[in-house]
């Protein structure tokens, strides 16, 4: 189990850091607002509080479905939102900074009319907790999503046998996805032969296809797949065993559909 958690964290951190870049504009602007609040720099504080709030609302709006819903599970390209999100956040930051500048001008004009220096009101002081709360929600959502979906990344790229065995044990105990984790295990070049032997009888043909073509799958196991394989699974089995298959356009078309990880049984 120690080996599993070591690799789990090693694989988790890069993805989590990549996701966290989306919240970087919000985090930096919020920290700047806190600093100006402590120094009582009214103008800088007002501009930063508006810019951080704008960046936070835009970031949360775009990422909420991905982090707390099922957006990323519906499309393999949905994760690209994390690539573009920092750009959207910076644009929102600039717009918010402009709004904050206008708000400060009004505050300064009001202070001139009353012959007093601009001060940070109690309401504006409390305003700092809005972007801070948004940042907390985003960090929680990113950490939650990364942990919940990291088993797939571990199945795909883990290199240690103990890790892969523990992960497959989670599948058998019903603690991990019974289709996607085996699917990635069957494609991981480090998956040992005993796991592949067990996956050779997985009830989904797409998993069996990858098992049949995996170099660590024993040839006798590959041959056994052919005995109960569907037509689409039999094709890669015959290729692995160097058995010529009949040319069948219909079969090739149906098998192409079965190659999709989300293909129906």
Q: What is the pLDDT of residues 211-237, one digit of tens each?
A: 988 989 988 888 887 665 555 556 667
- C-alpha distances in Å from residue 234, one per residue of 153, 161, 237: 28, 28, 5
pLDDT at site 233: 58
- Tell me the whole-structure pTM to 2 decimals: 0.73
Measured CA to CA in angstroms, residue 89 lies from 18, 58, 69, 141 at distances of 15, 6, 21, 17
**Per-residue confidence band for 70, with pLDDT thresholds at 50, 70 and 90:** low
User: What's the rounded Cα separation, in Å, for the pair 244 and 27?
Assistant: 60
Rounded Cα distance between 153 and 144, Å, is 15
pLDDT class of 203 with cuts at 50, 70, 90: confident
Q: What is the mean pLDDT of the chain?
A: 83
Q: What is the SS3 assignment for 90?
A: helix
**Helix (H) / strand (E) containing 186:** none
Mean pLDDT, residues 61-84: 72
Instruction: State the virtual CA torsion across 56, 102, 122, 129 in degrees, nearest 10.
Output: 0
Residue 196 has pLDDT above 90, yes or no: yes
Write the pLDDT tens digit of every residue in 137-170.
999 999 998 888 899 999 999 999 999 999 999 9
Q: Is the pLDDT of residue 251 over 60?
A: no
pLDDT over 90 (residue 257): no
**Of the candidates 193, 220, 197, 194, the residue with the CA atom closest to the CA atom of residue 208:** 197
Q: Which residues contact 161 (CB under 8 A, 6 or more apart)?
A: 190, 192
Q: How far is CA 199 from CA 6, 66, 144, 191, 225, in A?
A: 25, 30, 29, 11, 10
Task: Measure the CA–CA gap between 142 and 14, rounded to whole angstroms.
Answer: 12
In whole angstroms, give the CA distance from residue 24 to residue 15. Answer: 15
Task: Answer whether residue 199 shows pLDDT above 90.
Answer: yes
Q: What is the pLDDT of residue 90?
A: 95
Residue 20 makes CB contacts below 8 A (sequence gap 6+) with: 139, 142
**pLDDT reading at 259 higher than 50:** no
């Amino acid at each position: 189990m120690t080996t599993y958690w070591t690799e789990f964290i090693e694989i988790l951190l890069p993805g989590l850091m990549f996701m966290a870049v989306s919240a970087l504009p919000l985090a930096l602007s919020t920290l700047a607002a806190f600093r100006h609040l402590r120094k009582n720099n009214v103008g800088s504080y007002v501009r930063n509080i508006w810019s951080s709030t704008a960046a936070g609302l835009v970031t949360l709006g775009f990422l909420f479905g991905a982090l707390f819903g099922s957006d990323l599970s519906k499309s393999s390209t949905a994760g690209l939102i994390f690539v573009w999100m920092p750009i959207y956040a910076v644009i929102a930051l600039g717009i918010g900074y402009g709004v904050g500048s206008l708000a400060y001008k009004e505050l300064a004009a009001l202070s001139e009319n009353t012959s007093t220096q601009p001060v940070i009101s109690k309401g504006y002081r409390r305003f700092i907790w809005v972007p801070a709360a948004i940042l907390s929600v985003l960090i929680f959502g990113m950490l939650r999503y990364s942990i919940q979906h990291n088993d797939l990344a571990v199945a795909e790229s883990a290199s240690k046998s103990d890790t892969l065995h523990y992960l497959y044990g989670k599948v058998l105990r019903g603690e991990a996805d019974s289709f996607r984790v085996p699917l990635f295990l069957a494609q991981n070049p480090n998956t040992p032969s005993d796991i592949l032997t067990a996956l050779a009888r997985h009830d989904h043909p797409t998993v069996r296809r990858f098992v049949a073509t995996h170099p660590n799958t024993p040839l006798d196991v590959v041959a056994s797949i052919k005995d109960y394989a569907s037509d689409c699974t039999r094709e890669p089995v015959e290729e692995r065993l160097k058995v010529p298959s009949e040319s069948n356009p219909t079969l090739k078309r149906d098998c192409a559909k079965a190659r999709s990880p989300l293909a129906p049984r």
